A and B are shown apart, each in its own frame.
Chain A
Amino acid sequence: MPEFKQPTTEQDLELAFEQLKPYMNPTMAYYESSRCLFCYDAPCVTACPTGIDIPLFIRQINTGNVDGAAKTIYDSNYFGNICGKVCPTEVLCEGACVYNHQDVKPIEIGRLQSYATSQVIEKEKRLYHPAPPNGKKVAVIGAGPAGISCACELRLMGYEVTIFEAKKHPSGLAIYGCAPYKVTNEDVLDEIVWLQEQFGFEILYNHPIHSAEQIKSLEAYFDAIFLGIGLGATRPMSIPGENLENCYGATEYIEQVKISPLKVRVGKKVVVIGGGNTAMDAASESARLGAEEVTLAYRRSKEEMGAYEFEYELAKGVGVKGIFNAVPTAILGNGQVEGVRFIKTNSENGRVITVPGSEFELPCDAVILATGQEKKTGFLSLIEGLEWNKDGSIKVNVETFQTTNPKYFAGGDAVNGGAEVVNAAAEGKMAARGINSIMA
Chain B
Amino acid sequence: MPNISSNLAGIRSPNPFWLASAPPTNSGYQVMKAFDAGWGGAVWKTLGVPIINTSSRYGAINYRSSRMVGFNNIELITDRTLADNLREIEEVKKYFPEHAVIASLMVESRAEWHQIVKDVENAGADGVELNFGCPHGMCERGMGSAVGQEPSVLETITRWVKEVAKVPVIVKLTPNITDITEPAAAAARGGADAISLINTIQSLMGVDLDTFVPTPMVDGKSTNGGYCGPAVKPIALNMVKNCAQDPDVRIPISGIGGIENWRDAVEHMLLGASNVQVCTAVMHYGFGIIREMIPGLENFMREKGFEKLDDFIGKALPNVKTWENLNLKYKVIADISAEKCIGCQLCYTACEDGAHQAIALPKNGNRVPEIIEGNCVGCNLCSLVCPVEECITMVRKDDGKKHESWKDYMAADKAPTTFNDDRAGGKGHWVPEPAAALKR
Contact = CB atoms under 8 A, between A and B. Distances in A.
B387 interface: yes
23 contacts: A30-B65, A31-B65, A34-B64, A34-B65, A35-B65, A37-B344, A37-B346, A37-B387, A39-B343, A39-B344, A39-B346, A40-B344, A40-B349, A41-B345, A41-B361, A43-B343, A62-B64, A98-B343, A99-B342, A101-B343, A102-B342, A102-B387, A102-B388
Contacts of B367: 43, 98
Interface of B: 64-65, 341-346, 348-349, 361, 367, 387-388
Interface in A411-428: none
Interface residues of A, number: 16
Nearest to B343: A98
A221 interface: no
Contacts of A98: 342-344, 367
Interface in A25-44: 30-31, 34-35, 37-41, 43
Nearest to A27: B65
A40 B342 contact: no
A98 B367 CA distance: 10
Given A41-B361, A98-B342, 13 more contacts: A31-B65, A35-B65, A38-B346, A41-B345, A43-B367, A98-B343, A98-B344, A98-B367, A99-B342, A100-B342, A101-B341, A102-B387, A102-B388
A102 B349 CA distance: 20
Contacts of B345: 39-41
Which of A38, A43, A98, A100 gathers most chain B CB within 10 Å? A98
A95 to B, nearest CB: 13
Nearest 5 CB-CB pairs, A to B?
A34-B64, A40-B345, A101-B342, A40-B349, A98-B342
Classify the secondary structure of B's interface with A: loop
A102 B388 CA distance: 8
A199 B345 CA distance: 38
A43 B344 CA distance: 8
A115 to B, nearest CB: 15
B369 to A, nearest CB: 9
A43 B65 CA distance: 24
A277 B341 CA distance: 33
A100 B341 CA distance: 11
Contacts of A38: 346
Nearest to A55: B344
Contacts of B346: 37-40
A62 B62 CA distance: 12
A98 B348 CA distance: 15
Nearest to A101: B342
B385 to A, nearest CB: 9
Nearest to B341: A101
A35 B344 CA distance: 13
Interface in A184-236: none
Contacts of B64: 34, 62
A191 to B, nearest CB: 29
Which of B348, B361, B367 gathers most chain A CB within 10 Å? B367
A31 B65 CA distance: 5
B360 to A, nearest CB: 12
A101 B341 CA distance: 8
Contacts of A31: 65
A30 B388 CA distance: 22
Which of B342, B346, B361, B367 gathers most chain A CB within 10 Å? B342
A195 B346 CA distance: 36
B365 to A, nearest CB: 12
Which of A35, A39, A40, A43 gathers most chain B CB within 10 Å? A40
Nearest to B64: A34
Contacts of A30: 65
A62 B346 CA distance: 18
